[in-house]
Amino acid sequence: MNRVDTLIGNLRIELPSWAFGNSGTRFKVFGTPGTPRTVREKIADAATVHRLTGLAPTVALHIPWDEVADYGALRTYAEDLGVRLGTVNSNTFQDDDYKFGSLTHLDKKVRRKAIDHHLACLEVMNETGSSDLKIWLADGTNYPGQGDIRGRQDRLAESLASIYEHIGDGQRMVLEYKFFEPATYMTDVPDWGTAYVHVAALGERAVVCLDTGHHAPGTNIEFIVAQLLRLRKLGSFDFNSRFYADDDLIVGAADPFQLFRIMVEVIRGGGLDHDSGVALMLDQCHNVEAKIPGQIRSVLNVQEMTARAASLDIEVLTAAQDAGDVLAANGVFMDAFYTDVRPRLAQWRTERGLPEDPMAAFARSGYQQRIEADRLGGTQSGWGA
């Protein structure tokens, strides 16, 4: 087995339950026929993506959006469909109590509420067999002087430490950063450096999540990937694509070359080794396109850019770099990016009993028509549900 096949064989992309629910703009959330009404229906849709692509064996949950009475039964349901339950994502950005922060709030009772929510998420993980607790915070301020920047960092460190005490063996705390939104003046975890400082202080079971949409325009994301892998603190990715800000579009849609460059560094840093611990996940909202095909297209985009990155001739590239031949080195890099790996990936799927064209196979399957006919009544899932 050659290098490309090995790395593609190691590729696993987690799907987010919320990607199958309704979403939209700041002004309107759009409903669509067949949208899941329950977490089980979300998992069924995710399992369909995996069945057609062979790339998405786990489904991330969001608490409280995906709360159920029996998580053991939910775990069994998922496994019966051929997938497992993955990352558990917390939510401290919707309750009124969190208007001025959650883990950073001045009021100790509010901080305690936020901490307890994360401990409840850990209990969910214990029942589902999940290993990662992902924390993204909306905490921050809108105006200069609104809050004590240093004090908020002190309270955040204290709150994270309280949660980390309960992280079990085989579990991880994954801290996500975002440079703005909803806080527009100062966000409490705005960049990879802040996230790294906090997780490094906690211990080896605390790592950083990098969301590809959570950066200012022009940021060299692949540099951050390389640095966090070098420091052994890159725990997970949230893949999506952006034109302006955190657009949560289909990964690779805006800048496939950026996705290629990122995957080059993931491979270079051992992030696709079978024991790397780096979890790849989609974090996307399908506002105007169909949701299941949107997820299929997304995982295929990651697979394609991974295959192109794996085809990079490292020996020739290194020789050009060592010789200081700028144009030759860049040429080797660009040759890999422009390599058409689609026929090879179609053959890879055929050899594994998967459809050669998963998008066409889904369209032929009748699955969308069945769920549109079956999922009548009830309340469709979406943001906050």
Residues 187-225 have pLDDT tens digits of 999 999 999 999 999 999 999 999 999 999 999 999 999
Give per-10-residue mean pLDDT for the chain (385 aa): 85 97 83 95 98 98 97 98 98 96 98 98 98 98 98 98 97 97 96 98 98 95 98 97 91 96 98 94 93 98 98 97 98 98 97 97 98 95 70
Q: Which of 15, 136, 20 is nearest to 383 (CA)?
A: 20
Whole-number pLDDT of residue 385: 47
**What's the alpha-carbon Rg for the chain, to the nearest Å?**
21
Whole-number pLDDT of residue 29: 85
Neighbours of 72 (CB within 10 A): 11
Rounded Cα distance between 92 and 254, Å, is: 30
Whole-number pLDDT of residue 384: 57
Rounded Cα distance between 248 and 108, Å, is: 33
Q: What is the CATH number of domain 3-311?
A: 3.20.20.150
Rounded Cα distance between 198 and 208, Å, is: 9
